[in-house]
Structures are given as C-alpha cells and as structure tokens.
C-alpha cells in the first residue's frame, strides 16, 4: 500500500469499544491501538489546537480527547479504568477485562465527536487488551489529496487483495457531506431570491422616477433627444444603483468572512451564551474562507439581475409619447 502513488502514510490499527470509568463517572470510548511513531504523523493529534501532556509519553499510558477528559474529570497524570466486555474467556463464559491506564496526553483535534469518544493506546498493549495478538483490525491510509480519494480508492483496493475493503472518509461522513451540498444549493437559491427582491426595489424606484420626470422627458424628446438616448439615461441610473449595491455587498460580505470569529465572539458576549454549540454542530468553530470563484459568482448574479431588470422602466421611459407627456402643461 505504501508504494501506491499519492499515499503518504500507512498505519496498522487495533480498534475496540470500551467503557471508561473515573471516580464514578463513565463514558463510552472508541479506542484505537496505534504505534507512537504513527500517532505522531497525525497532524490534528500530534499538533492539535490545544493539548495537555506530551505525546512522547504515549508508550506508558493512554491519550484521550479533551471532551472525554472533561466528562470524566481527568487530567494528565490521573488513572482511568477501561472495561472491555470482550475480555477473558473461561469455562464459565467471557468476563470483562478491566485495565487501568495513566492519562499521559489530552488533545483537542477540532472535531467534537472525536474529542468526545476517541482514545489511543499503544499498539502492542491494544493487541493484548483486545485479544488481537499478532494481528491488526485495519490499516489506516493517508493520501496527498483527500478530496480526490475516489480516484485512489480502486488502486488501494487492488493493492490490498481480493479480501480488502476500502472505507474512505467520504463513506463515513456521507450523510454530512450530502447535507452540506443541500445546504449550499438552498443558500444559493435564497441568495438569488434576496437579490431579485432588491432588484424589484430598483424597478419601483425607476418607475416612480419615470412618472415624476414625464414632463422633462417630453421636453427632451421635443428638442430632438432620441428614444435610445432616453433609454440609456434611465438604464445607466438603474445600473449605477445596482453596481453600487453590489460593491457595498461584496465589501461587507468579505469583511464578515474575514472577521467572522471576532463577530461570533462579540455576539456570544452580548447574548451571554454559546451561539455556536460544538456538541450540536460537531465542530468548535465555523471556518470561513474566501473563494474568488464564489465572490465572482455572487457579483455576476447580482449585476445580471440588477442590470437586466432595469431595462423595463428604461424602455418605458424611452417609449413615452412627448405629446402625452406635455398635454396638460
């Protein structure tokens, strides 16, 4: 597997689910048995947002997520008890295996579900604890471009043999990814509707302007101004309003995306609560990244609607009969 193009890391894992106990508090944990050198190559674990302890001591204890440590009330140096229901087999049945481990490392990976349920044990210790002597449950593979995992997965499956099964991060997060795609589509539709409503305001303003300036339009037409010239005057007026509104929206939107974290912190301070709840959202913060393609798409949509919708009142002004406009003057 390491020879496959695009693969940067292959690590054997032993996995099991246990009950963690500390001073009367319990929590279900998903335990991964992994070698220290492999754990050090996981960026979000070896170099997390925040951490307690040192990963160099991993071989003599257990590493757990920050939220699990908070739930159990443990810190570095405390001893946590792990209960494995698939323990020692005897003539009387299987009795749970209970081991105690020192907490040597507490990490915050950036994902709440991982920090709440994840724990790491040294690979050899996990093999003994889960009755996996001499074997591994799975191989964890990292690739250069995770977004293009669909292209690498068939190659990995072929390299792994007939009995190999490939389970990618997109498979495990399929529902979440589909929800994001639906949300992205819905947000685009909502934005389009909002821009259309704003464009309607331009129409109403120009219609009123044409009605109020009917006498002036009639005078201009009688002195030789063409329909095209009148249409250009009102079109440029509406286009200028749409362009200025688009520019202002782009500036405010970019500033909001750049300073999203301070704005969210300010809202939290004003409301006195957590607007962004990690236990509900799954992540601790909402990352905001400016994409030039998204900005250009928004600008294009806004200008197209605002300019296109200006043509109706502009044509109405151009077709105004100067005789009717000056009839009662």
3-state secondary structure of 137: coil
Using the predicted structure, report yes or no on whether residue 80 has a pLDDT greater than 90: yes
Domain for residue 231, yes or no? yes
Assess whether 212 and 306 both reside in one domain: yes
Instruction: Answer with the residue of higher pLDDT: 265 or 233.
Output: 233
Cα Rg of the chain, angstroms: 32
**Do 195 and 125 share a structural domain?**
no
The predicted pLDDT at position 70 comes to 92
Tokens of 115: 């920090």
59 and 122 inside one domain: yes
Is residue 61 in some structural domain?
Answer: yes
Q: Is residue 300 part of a domain?
A: yes
Q: For residue 143, what are the β-bridge partners?
A: 7
Residue 156 domain flag: no
Residues 193 and 321 in one domain: yes
Q: Which domain range does residue 75 map to?
A: 9-144
Domain count, the chain: 2
What would the DSSP string read from start to end of 245-308? Answer: HHHHHHHHHHHHHHTHHHHHHHHHHHHTS-SS-HHHHSBSS------HHHHHHHHHHHHHHHHH
Is residue 19 assigned to a domain? Answer: yes
Q: Is residue 78 part of a domain?
A: yes
Q: Are residues 28 and 135 in the same domain?
A: yes
Residues 65 and 128 in one domain: yes
Digit-coded pLDDT (tens) for 183-238 = 888 988 888 888 788 778 877 887 787 777 777 777 777 777 788 888 888 888 88
SS (H, E, C) 194-249: HHHHHHHHHHHHHHHHHHHCHHHHHHHHHCCCCHHHHHHHHHHHHHHHHHHHHHHH
139 and 179 in a single domain? The answer is no
* Segment 300-323 mean pLDDT: 81
More confident: 206 or 93:
206
Q: Are residues 185 and 253 in the same domain?
A: yes
The model's pLDDT over 30-75, given as tens digits with 9 standing for 90+, comes to 999 999 999 988 888 888 878 888 888 899 899 999 999 999 999 9
pLDDT, residue 109, reads 85
Which pLDDT band holds residue 120 (cuts at 50, 70, 90)?
Answer: very high
Q: pLDDT tens digit string along 267-289? A: 777 776 666 666 666 666 777 78
User: Tokens in use for 173?
Assistant: 């997060």
Q: Please tell me the least confidently modeled range out of 55-69, 110-124, 296-310.
A: 296-310
In a domain, 163, yes or no: no
Last residue of a domain, one of 96, 123, 144: 144
Residue 172, token pair as written in the block? 């495990």
Q: Are residues 321 and 278 in the same domain?
A: yes
Question: Phi and psi of 253, rounded to 5°?
Answer: -65, -40
- State in Å, rounded, how far the first CA of the chain is from the last one: 89
Q: What is the pLDDT of residues 248-257, one digit of tens each?
A: 989 998 898 8
């Amino acid at each position: 597997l390491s020879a496959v193009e695009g693969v940067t890391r292959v690590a054997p894992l032993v996995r099991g689910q246990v009950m963690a106990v500390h001073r009367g508090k319990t929590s279900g944990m998903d335990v991964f048995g992994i070698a220290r050198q492999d754990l050090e190559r996981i960026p979000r674990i070896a170099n997390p947002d925040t951490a307690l302890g040192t990963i160099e001591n991993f071989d003599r204890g257990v590493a757990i997520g920050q939220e699990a440590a908070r739930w159990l009330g443990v810190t570095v140096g405390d001893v946590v008890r792990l209960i494995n229901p698939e323990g020692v087999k005897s003539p009387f049945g299987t009795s749970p295996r209970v081991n105690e481990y020192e907490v040597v490392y507490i990490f915050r990976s950036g994902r709440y579900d991982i920090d709440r349920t994840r724990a790491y044990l040294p690979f050899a210790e996990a093999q003994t604890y889960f009755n996996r002597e001499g074997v591994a449950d799975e191989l964890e593979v990292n690739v250069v471009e995770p977004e293009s995992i669909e292209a690498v997965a068939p190659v990995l499956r072929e390299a792994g043999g007939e009995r190999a099964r490939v389970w990618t991060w997109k498979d495990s997060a399929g529902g979440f990814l589909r929800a994001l795609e639906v949300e992205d589509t819905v947000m685009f539709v909502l934005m389009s509707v909002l821009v259309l409503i704003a464009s309607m305001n331009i129409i109403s303003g120009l219609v009123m302007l044409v009605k109020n300036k009917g006498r002036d339009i009639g005078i201009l037409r009688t002195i030789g101004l063409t329909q095209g010239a009148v249409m250009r005057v009102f079109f440029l007026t509406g286009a200028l309003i749409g362009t200025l509104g688009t520019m202002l929206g782009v500036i405010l939107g970019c500033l909001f995306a750049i300073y999203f974290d301070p704005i969210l912190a300010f809202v939290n301070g004003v409301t006195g609560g957590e607007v962004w709840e990690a236990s509900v959202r799954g992540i601790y913060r909402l990352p905001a990244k400016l994409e030039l393609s998204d900005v250009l798409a928004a600008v294009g949509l806004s200008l197209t609607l605002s300019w296109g919708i200006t043509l109706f009142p502009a044509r109405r002004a151009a077709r105004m009969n100067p005789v009717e406009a000056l009839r009662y003057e």
